[in-house]
Every structure is written in C-alpha cells, then in structure tokens.
Structure 1
Amino acid sequence: MLDPELEAWLWSDSPHVDSVLGWKDRNPTLRAWLAEQGFLVEGAAKPSQPKEAVEKALRVVRKPRSSALYRQLAERVSFERCTDPAFARFKDVLRGWFGPRIAEHG
C-alpha cells in the first residue's frame, strides 16, 4: 500500500518553494522562519503541521492562498528533491506505469 504525503513534496528544499510562497530573498529564510515558529524541527523534512505552516507563512508575506499558487509549485518544484520514502515508491509506481519520462517532468 502506498501512502505518500503531498506535503512531503511541497516542503522539499527547493528554492522554488520560497519563491512561489513569497519568501525569496527574505531574512530569515522560509525554513529558518518555520523553525523559529515551531513548525519545523531540526532534521525534519516537513513541518509538523504543514497546512497551518503554509497558511501562516502566506499571511506573513500578505500573499493569498490560491489554486494558482499550488499550480506554480507543481510546475516548478521537482519531485526528485522529495526524500519521503512513500513518495519515492509512488514515483517508482508511476514510472512503471508511464515509463521514465515521468521523471523528466518534475
């Protein structure tokens, strides 16, 4: 059974996450801010409360949450940066079904 979490991919260490969420060139960085706010513990791949973390991060930069924002993330953030084992298995299943080209798109 596969149980991948979309948040594991969304919160990868891609610089596109900071950019799309409005945190590009901010100090502190998004990940540092998440840690300061208690959303992200050292060594964790994603915040303990991913939905709340993204909502608060967007409020700080006064950026509305929208489907367009998630579309931008989907277009820019590579699946290859995601380290979640369940998500990696999910990618492998998709590659088995659709071939290696699926890896080129993320």
Structure 2
Amino acid sequence: MADRAALQRLREGRFFKGWDGAVASDRVEASEASMRQLIDALLAAGPEIDEDEARDAVGDCIDRFNELDDEGWINTIEREEIAEQIGRVVGLCGFEFDEDWLDERDW
C-alpha cells in the first residue's frame, strides 16, 4: 500500500536542490516538475497502486527525462540522483526499486 501522505510531502519539497548553480535553472525546474508529475500520476491511481500502473508512470517520467536530456547534460551525478529520487517514490508506493524500473532511460 502506498504511503500517500509521504508521497504528498515529497511532492511539496525539492528533488534536485543540489543541482542549483551546476545545472541550468530551467533544467532543474523541468526535472522537478517531472518528478511532481510522477507523484501526481501515482496519487491519482488511488491508495492501492498496481505495480503495472506504477511502472507505466515511472516510464512516462523517464521519457520526460529522455526528452530533457537533449544536449546530454545528464551525467553520472544527475543520473544517480534521478534514479535515487525515482527509487524513493517507488519505495513509498510499496514496491522494491531496482535498475529494471529504469530500463527505458537513454541517459
């Protein structure tokens, strides 16, 4: 079962604050918006989120990051932090996170 309250709290915070000054602000904003969209999709699925629904929502989020990485700015640090944040969200949905959740990534 998803921890909806924790997902909502996570949604209200910053995901990539450490990127400020190192990554263009429009990319930071778009990246954080993508994570909020992921959480919104999962919250909209209801309290009993099906794993297939969660994987679809994560896939959509990864597609957004693939589009954002138009100039190859997602490097090792960004890649690890994106994966960490997606993993946090997946965990709050009650699922075990591993690399196969990120199969669709191009970065």
Identify whether the pair has TM-score above 0.5, normalized to the shorter chain. no
| Structure whose alpha-carbon radius of gyration is higher | 1
Q: TM-score, normalised by structure 2?
A: 0.32
Q: TM-score, normalised by structure 1?
A: 0.32
